[in-house]
Amino acid sequence: MSGLETAIRHALERSERENSETRARIYQSARNALEAGLKKQDVHDPDVVAQQRHRLEAIIRAIEIEERAALKAAAAVAPPQASRQEPVDASPSVELDDGLHERADRNMPVDGPVSEERLDGGLDGGLDGLRAERRTAAAETPAPAPAAGRRGRNARKADPKPRRRRSSFLSFVMVVTVLVAAVGTAAWWVQTSGLLKSPAERDTSVANPPATVRSEDFDGGAGLKTLGSRSGFSGDWIDVFTPGEADKVKAGSQAAADPVSDEGGRRLRITSASAGSDGNVLVEIPASVLEQISGKTSTLALSVRADEGKPTQFSVECDFSTLGDCGRHRFTAHDEKNDMLFKVTFDRSLAPNAPGHILVNSDVTGAGNSLSLYAIRVLPGQ
């Protein structure tokens, strides 16, 4: 390590050693030369590396203490004099590091133990290269202008810093402007897109009525329901329609109601070509029957069978004058005769003075399947 100490002292003698920054750069260059030499010689033992670093730091502290003591002694002997000092260029630190690394790479072999002579040679070579480069730069530097132009030269040297400050300020202003514009654009987009609005506020269509459950007793997941049939009807049941009462039937524009009498018995064949109201067949219910079911819960029964052996899905609705309706009910009819039952409730006690109707559609799919209607009965109050 004595070679490194000698190299550091020589570098201090040939530089502005009164400047603490210059000394710090020389010390750092010595550290870089040591690290480069250790890596070049493939030295990775932590103990050896730590020992070399510790020894170098001890030398640097000893030299720095001597330098500071010398500066204090010089300041005590001679009073400080006002003198113009040229601004220190920070570039020598870069050149010093490059020179030391380049010399250390050339002078320190890859193999072999770490020797003080090799590390000393790397630092000396780097310092020699630095001195040669500084001499070349000094030779190429043009002569200073006359005293009359010294003030202008100093002004030119002082120009770059204000320009850099102005440039930094303009860059800061530009960045802030861009950020403010971005934030404003994002806020405008959120405001106009309705991102913060609730689903009800974003819905600009006509207000939808609240969801209600219709009285249609049909569950698409479970299939069409068929209420149980009865083997017979007691005397409490009222017959409101039989096949011979054709005058009580009225067919829509897309429906047909034909009386049929054959080996299957007397019945009314209903054929609906549309699933809408124009495919309904209206069967009249007398006002006297409506009086008996007013203000009560009653049971209606339709005796039906699918015509031509084709199962069909049919619907039943009520239009009972002032009593109101009973919702829409769906059933499935097969090729055997069944009694389809469902209950209706009318809370109004005012009896209607006009007849009502039961609306039957033989095929809710609109395929035109036929339905045979044998009878319609009502059980009031049950």
Look at residue 315 in the predicted model and tell me its pLDDT. Answer: 92
Between 357 and 100, residue with greater pLDDT: 357
Domain presence at residue 360: yes
Measured distance CA(325)–CA(358) in Å, rounded: 9
Domain presence at residue 299: yes
Residue 245 has pLDDT above 70, yes or no: yes
Whether residues 248 and 371 share a domain: the answer is yes
- How many domains in the chain? 2
CATH for 315 = 2.60.120.260
Whether residues 247 and 120 share a domain: the answer is no
Domain presence at residue 155: no
Domain presence at residue 134: yes
pLDDT tens figures, 45-70: 999 999 999 999 999 999 999 999 99
Residue 314 has φ and ψ, to the nearest 5°, of: -120, 160
Residue 229 has pLDDT above 50, yes or no: no
- For the range 231-239, what are the long-range contacts, defined as Cβ-Cβ under 8 Å and sequence gap of 24 or more? 233/301, 233/377, 236/379, 236/380, 236/382, 237/301, 237/377, 237/378, 237/379, 238/289, 238/292, 238/377, 238/378, 238/379, 238/380, 239/375, 239/376, 239/377
What is the pTM for the complete model shown?
Answer: 0.41
CA nearest 251: which of 272, 275, 281? 281
Residue 170 has pLDDT above 80, yes or no: yes
Look at residue 148 in the predicted model and tell me its pLDDT. Answer: 45
Look at residue 221 in the predicted model and tell me its pLDDT. Answer: 42
Q: Which runs of consecutive H residues, i.e. helices, occur in 231-348?
A: 287-293
pLDDT tens figures, 114-130: 444 444 454 555 445 44
Look at residue 92 in the predicted model and tell me its pLDDT. Answer: 37
Question: Which residue range forms the structural domain that includes residue 327?
Answer: 238-379
Measured in whole angstroms, the distance separating CA 22 from the mean position of its chain's CA atoms is: 55
Residue 151 has pLDDT above 80, yes or no: no
Identify any residues that bridge with 306 across adjacent strands, giving them in sequence order: 371
pLDDT tens figures, 308-366: 778 999 999 998 877 788 888 999 998 888 898 988 887 766 667 788 899 999 899 98
